[in-house]
Every structure is written in structure tokens, then in C-alpha cells.
Amino acid sequence: MRVVFDTNIVLSALVFGRRLAWLRGAWARGVVIPVVCRETTAELLRVLAYPKFELTPIERDLLLAEYLPFAEAAQLPELLPVLPVACRDRDDVVFIQLALAAKVDCLVSGDSDLGVLRDIAPVPIISVDELRRRLNL
């Protein structure tokens, strides 16, 4: 299953791994393939550098090494698709655009701004718990 994860899901799996340890194992075994692009990876790098996480550059690199090698890189088209729905948080639009451009199975998010689009988004938006049920893990 190819999926786009929002930054909060990846961050939770990497930094606060206990609850989402199964997810790290799933992408490491290829059960689920994260799809990333330059923009989503840049956001992840930016968030991992937040002072509140107190991660050194080496620690950030080690965390990224537990994620990015298992990810499929995609490129957003120059002409981005116009979304038929508005997203309250403009920073979240890239995840929907990536999911559409890469033709993934779903977008996995815990973000409330994306969650409200669940029934009207042009791509399935599911929770991490729903992903786990779909994968039977």
C-alpha cells in the first residue's frame, strides 16, 4: 500500500515511537510505502529541528535514516492540481496534492484540518488507526 503520511504521523512514529512502533515496522518491511516529495521532506526536516524536541543534528539524521530509505520519492507537477475543496491550513494542501499526483492509496493524517475534509477530499484521508486495521496489523 502506497500512502502519504502527514508530518505529524511521521513525527509521532519517529520521535514518540511507542504508540506507532508498528508503523515503523510496517514501512521497514515494505508493508506500507511512504510517498514523499521535496516539499513534504523539507517540512519534516523543519519540524524535527524545533527546539522543543531537543534533537541534535546527528539525532535528526538518525531518525531520518529510519524513514527516508523506505520512502518512494515523487515530484509534484509544475502545474499543481486545483483542489475542489479548500483546506483551512495552507501548509496541509501539499499533502493532498502529493497524494493526487502520486496516485497513492490514501493520505494518513491525524490533523484536524485534513480530517474535516475526509468526506469531500479527492483522495481518501484516513487515520493511522484505520490504516492499521486495513493492514491487519
DSSP bridge pairs for 125: 107
pTM of the predicted structure, to 2 decimals: 0.89
Average pLDDT over residues 8-28: 94
CA dihedral 1, 91, 41, 100 (to 10 degrees): 30
513534504: which residue's cell? 40
- List Cβ neighbours of 129 (8 Å cut-off, separation of 6 or more): none
Q: What is the pLDDT of residues 35-86, one digit of tens each?
A: 999 999 999 999 999 999 999 999 999 999 999 999 999 999 876 666 556 6
Amino acid at 125: I
In the chain, % of residues over pLDDT 70: 83
Separation of CA 121 from chain center? 16
* 113 — pLDDT class (breaks 50, 70, 90): low
CATH superfamily of 2-135: 5'-nuclease (3.40.50.1010)
